[in-house]
Chains A and B, each alone.
Chain A
Amino acid sequence: MAGITFREAARKRILWTALIAGAGFLMVFGVGLHLQIADFRASTPAFVRYQILSGMLMVGLYTVDLLAVVMTILTCVDTLAGEISSGTIQAIAMKPMGRWQILIGKWLGFAGMLAVYVTMMFGGTIAVVQSVAGMTPQHPLRGALLVFLECLIALSVCFMFGTWFSTLTNGVIVLGLHGLAFMGGWLEQMSGFTEGERLSLAGTVVSLLMPTEAVWRRAAFEMESPLAGSLPQFAIFSDVSLPSPAMIGYAVFYLVIVLSVAIYHFQQRDL
């Protein structure tokens, strides 16, 4: 089922169009980076250059992260919901395999596709920065794995709601939840200005509902230069209200629970 899903995605040109869009992004990013370097004055201190380029790298990686999550939602939103409403799921369910195998197979297929996408986009962004500016992020593998985890969470939530709702409703819910997480993450970031505990707490509570943005902020912390983290005036994602390893543990737990609920409800519901 995983293989079929992967091939189907290729047949529908999902993967290819996503990669072409990604290539466009990398081209624009590379040109922007090149122009930025060309605009540096001779008097610009080395560390200011480093921080500007480091900031641009983080913006590039954040764009990749947003693209990856939105691609995840857009591609998976129709999978179960659409197949259930159109009735094509019945043809698949006739095969000698459990419903949980169908769901997990599809999930693995999408996970594989996302792994390819994240690897290529992340690798591409880092390669562009390395070739144009000669710098690399701190701990890129940790960062990429965390972004992949974020995509898997969005994928699982998409699968779970897909067993309940129609394609459109599913899309609205999952994008809405990600928007909520996005807002929660920035609320926490803003809490650093006033050291407001309540604002930070509000962001933390929101991250329990949808931990995607919290996972990104941990990824950003892992990849950002320590100078940026310690001197907030230079940091785009300063380490204010930084998600702990326990939060990443919670995100993994959340993923498992959401996927389990998806499997359970898919098995229980009428097709």
Chain B
Amino acid sequence: MTTETTKLKMKVWFALAALGLAAFLATTGGRALAARWLRSLRVQKVQAVNVDLTAFSDPNANPALHQMVAAMISDKVNITANEKDQPADDAAAAGRLAGFQVRLLKARKDAPKLVVTGQHAVRVNVDRARLQEIIKAAGHPEIVLPDSIEGSAFTVQLPRMVHARYGNCPTPVTATNAIASQVIETPSSGTEYADCIRLNEGPSPIVGVPAGLDIAKLAEIGLQVAGMTPSQADDFFHTVDWKSTLTLSVPRRLRSFEQVKIAGVPGTLLTLSGRRGPGYTLLWAKDGITYALIGYGDASRAVALGDSLQ
């Protein structure tokens, strides 16, 4: 009898507790508290700077190099500036918004769609142990980071840039359809986006590096992660200002890499082998402005297109 009474009491207590919980969750405050508690059970990650993926990315792309470098330095990235992007009607309007003279492809007769990306800035405090491990993993056990860099600040300011899009380009990539395209592996028709050209131009990022930290080496590791061989990554940095590469989302499937002359300055032509993404990326810098020309068509036309900039 006593056992039966105890069992009954237990059932009543359970029922009351369940009712109490249901009543608590029925209130807005209760649900908010429950949501807060559930969130506390997972590590809240600070998102990397919200650069507009549509302008930089394609189904073949890695994250932008500065995001990769920041992630190597620490798992906590603080966003200190994150302006919105703005469309512009013409080169003059884009230039006024961006703060530099915008140059467009004379070889293209069609009018481009212009977007001025907002200014972005991130600050990362160096986690020395993490970084040391990554450098070791990258095959450089001989590099020993000084203790003094622990906690010191690494900052990247990405100035406003102009993105010009010509022709019929693929739908802007979202995280979902990027993953879907990776899984489904749908080959593009080859000619569907043949006239698509993207031109990105803007000043080099402003980078604040603590003494003793070789960011160029980290950027080189990032390029290797993206698919370049160590010698390609090394050559790449001999032709391109490494700071200018920080805004690039480095393609995953690199077929070849060559140095070219463009508008009287040295440039770098990356030919890509991805079935879905662009066919080439041409990079060069002139008069303090960095240019990236990304095309889906024939790579042999890239230099001529770049030369037509005015």
Residues on A close to B: CB < 8 A? 43, 45-51, 54, 138, 193-195, 200-201, 204-205, 207-208, 214, 225-227, 229-231, 233-234, 239, 241-244, 246-247, 250, 268
8 A-B pairs besides A47-B137, A47-B224, A194-B176 with CB distance below 8 A are A46-B137, A193-B179, A227-B134, A227-B137, A233-B62, A241-B42, A244-B40, A246-B40
Is B225 on the interface with A (CB-CB < 8 A)? yes
**Bound complex: CA of A243 vs CA of B230, how far in Å?**
35
Query: B38 contacts A204, CB within 8 Å?
Result: yes
Segment touching A, from B67-75, B103-111, B159-167 = B67-75
- Can you list 17 A-B contacts (CB < 8 A)? A45-B138, A45-B229, A47-B137, A47-B139, A47-B224, A49-B139, A50-B136, A50-B137, A51-B137, A195-B175, A201-B38, A226-B130, A230-B68, A242-B42, A244-B44, A246-B41, A247-B41
**Bound complex: CA of A149 vs CA of B229, how far in Å?**
42
Query: A231 contacts B68, CB within 8 Å?
Result: yes
Query: B42 contacts A234, CB within 8 Å?
Result: no
Residues on B close to A: CB < 8 A? 3, 6-7, 38, 40-45, 62, 68, 71-72, 75, 127, 130, 133-134, 136-140, 175-176, 179, 221, 224-225, 229-230
Query: B75 contacts A54, CB within 8 Å?
Result: no
Interface centre among A48, A226, A241 (most CB of B within 10 A): A226
**Bound complex: CA of A47 vs CA of B133, how far in Å?**
11
Residue of B40, B42, B71 near A230 (CB, 8 A) is: B71
Contacts known (A43-B229, A47-B137); A230 close to B75, Cβ less than 8 A: yes
Q: For B224, list chain A residues within 8 Å (CB).
A: 45, 47-48
Q: For A43, list chain B residues within 8 Å (CB).
A: 229
Query: A231 contacts B71, CB within 8 Å?
Result: yes
Query: A234 contacts B229, CB within 8 Å?
Result: no
Q: For B71, list chain A residues within 8 Å (CB).
A: 230-231
Query: B137 contacts A54, CB within 8 Å?
Result: yes
Q: How far is the CB of A232 from chain B (nearest CB, A)?
A: 9
How many A-B Cβ pairs are below 8 Å? Answer: 91
Contacts known (A194-B176, A227-B72, A231-B225); A207 close to B41, Cβ less than 8 A: yes
Q: For A226, list chain B residues within 8 Å (CB).
A: 72, 75, 127, 130, 133-134
Contacts known (A47-B139, A194-B175, A239-B43); A138 close to B133, Cβ less than 8 A: yes
Query: A46 contacts B138, CB within 8 Å?
Result: yes
Q: How far is the CB of A142 from chain B (nearest CB, A)?
A: 14
**Bound complex: CA of A213 vs CA of B138, how far in Å?**
30
Q: For B6, list chain A residues within 8 Å (CB).
A: 268
Query: B42 contacts A268, CB within 8 Å?
Result: no
**Bound complex: CA of A250 vs CA of B124, how far in Å?**
31
Q: For A242, list chain B residues within 8 Å (CB).
A: 42-43, 45
Q: How far is the CB of A45 from chain B (nearest CB, A)?
A: 5
Q: For B137, list chain A residues within 8 Å (CB).
A: 46-47, 50-51, 54, 225, 227
Query: B41 contacts A244, CB within 8 Å?
Result: yes
Query: B175 contacts A244, CB within 8 Å?
Result: no
Q: For B221, list chain A residues within 8 Å (CB).
A: 47
Query: B41 contacts A45, CB within 8 Å?
Result: no
Contacts known (A45-B230, A226-B133, A268-B3); A50 close to B43, Cβ less than 8 A: no
**Bound complex: CA of A45 vs CA of B45, how far in Å?**
30
Query: A47 contacts B225, CB within 8 Å?
Result: yes
Query: A243 contacts B133, CB within 8 Å?
Result: no
Query: B179 contacts A194, CB within 8 Å?
Result: yes
Query: B42 contacts A227, CB within 8 Å?
Result: no
Closest 5 CB pairs of A and B: A46-B139, A230-B71, A47-B138, A242-B43, A247-B41
Q: How far is the CB of B10 from chain A (nearest CB, A)?
A: 9
Q: How far is the CB of A55 from chain B (nearest CB, A)?
A: 12
Q: How far is the CB of A108 from chain B (nearest CB, A)?
A: 27
**Bound complex: CA of A243 vs CA of B42, how far in Å?**
4
**Bound complex: CA of A47 vs CA of B40, how far in Å?**
34
Q: For A208, list chain B residues within 8 Å (CB).
A: 41
Query: A244 contacts B42, CB within 8 Å?
Result: yes
Residue of A138, A204, A233 near B42 (CB, 8 A) is: A204
**Bound complex: CA of A201 vs CA of B221, how far in Å?**
34
Q: For B179, list chain A residues within 8 Å (CB).
A: 193-194
Q: For A234, list chain B residues within 8 Å (CB).
A: 225
Q: How far is the CB of A218 from chain B (nearest CB, A)?
A: 9
**Bound complex: CA of A43 vs CA of B230, how far in Å?**
9
